């Protein structure tokens, strides 16, 4: 009777600890509080920034801040307009470019986002950078870190329940059950959920960058360049990220829906917001030349 009670209590805890992810609407497990996650996140972020070397590339650093803040503003406007103002208070946005040649960026809960210089080498416009930052902001908005911690807690509960069920069985039976549970938890739950998080961040990021006025079509060109710049031969089912081909195919599928639903944001935004520095320089140059030509006349 005690075993059944503990198992039912575990199941009840998991079933009643669910939230909905903004924009995607997916039900998500949540067994940890925001305050717990934010406290440890801020501590980890501060420790990292003590060891990281901030980029001295002023123009690119300003670009990261500019695009990041624009997406953050659009994100908060969406949350406020859709009855989720309580979530906005958890964000203290910070966007940093650090000196590292890796093609990478990461996000900490609460909106602490770091971009590596390496990824900026393949970013050719604000729109493409918005793909990266939209994806990272999406991780924060979807509280993927909270969910990962919750999954780990749930697995601990599951492991405890398994021990209760196999109590009194032979050592061999308990060992086999434990091994199978471990493999199933890793390849059947944790890794697929990591891939699910990445795909969800891609999809939500696409919406966020569009709401911020950036061109979502650039998601395809950016990830195609990322694919050309990396060599990942690891089987997808053993990876925490979807393959490049899977990611690009998913974005191609999502783009028409996103543009149809959120395309008005792009039209309403300032045209100069998504232009590259090169194009804006050319425009100013052309203006100068036109002035000169008019003077000649």
- Active-site residue flag, 147: no
Please check whether residue 170 is in contact with residue 219, taking contact to mean a CB–CB distance below 8 angstroms: no
Residue 103, Cβ neighbours under 10 Å: how many? Answer: 17
Could you tell me the strand order of the sheet in which 94-98 lies?
94-98, 112-116, 105-108
| Rounded-to-integer distance, Cα 202 and Cα 194, Å | 12
Burial class (CB in 10 A: 0-12, 13-18, 19+), 30: middle
Q: Are strands 105-108 and 27-29 parallel, antiparallel or unpaired?
A: unpaired
Catalytic residue among 76, 117, 136, 198: 136
What number of CA atoms fall less than 13 Å from residue 6's CA on the CB side? 12
Locate 181 and state its tokens.
């549970």
DSSP assignments along 240-253, one per residue: SS--HHHHHHHHHH
Locate 102 and state its tokens.
């890796």
- In sequence order, the 6+-apart residues with CB closer than 8 A to the CB of 74 are 208, 211, 212, 213, 265
The DSSP secondary-structure symbol of 189 reads I
Active site positions, annotated: 136
């Amino acid at each position: 009777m005690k075993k059944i009670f503990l198992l039912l209590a575990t199941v009840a805890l998991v079933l009643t600890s669910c939230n909905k992810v903004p924009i995607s609407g997916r039900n998500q497990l949540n067994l940890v509080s925001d305050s717990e996650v934010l406290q440890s996140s801020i501590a980890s972020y501060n420790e990292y920034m003590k060891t990281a070397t901030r980029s001295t590339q002023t123009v690119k650093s300003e670009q990261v801040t500019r695009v990041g803040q624009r997406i953050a503003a659009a994100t908060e406007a969406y949350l406020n307009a859709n009855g989720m103002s309580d979530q906005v208070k958890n964000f203290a946005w910070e966007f940093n470019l650090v000196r590292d040649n890796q093609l990478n960026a990461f996000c900490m809960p609460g909106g602490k986002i770091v971009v590596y210089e390496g990824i900026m080498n393949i970013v050719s416009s604000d729109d493409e950078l918005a793909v990266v930052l939209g994806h990272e902001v999406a991780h924060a908005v979807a509280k993927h870190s909270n969910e990962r911690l919750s999954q780990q807690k749930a697995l601990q509960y599951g492991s405890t329940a398994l021990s209760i069920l196999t109590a009194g069985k032979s050592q061999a039976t308990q060992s086999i059950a434990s091994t199978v549970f471990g493999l199933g938890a890793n390849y059947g739950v944790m890794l697929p959920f990591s891939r699910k998080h990445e795909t969800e961040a891609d999809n939500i990021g696409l919406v966020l960058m569009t709401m911020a006025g950036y061109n979502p079509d650039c998601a395809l060109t950016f990830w195609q360049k990322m694919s050309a710049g990396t060599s990942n031969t690891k089987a997808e089912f053993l990876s925490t990220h979807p393959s490049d081909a899977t990611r690009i195919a998913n974005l191609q599928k999502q783009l028409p829906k996103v543009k149809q639903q959120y395309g008005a944001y792009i039209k309403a935004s300032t045209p100069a917001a998504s232009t590259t520095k090169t194009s804006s320089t050319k425009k100013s140059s052309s203006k100068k030349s036109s002035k000169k030509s008019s003077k000649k006349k």
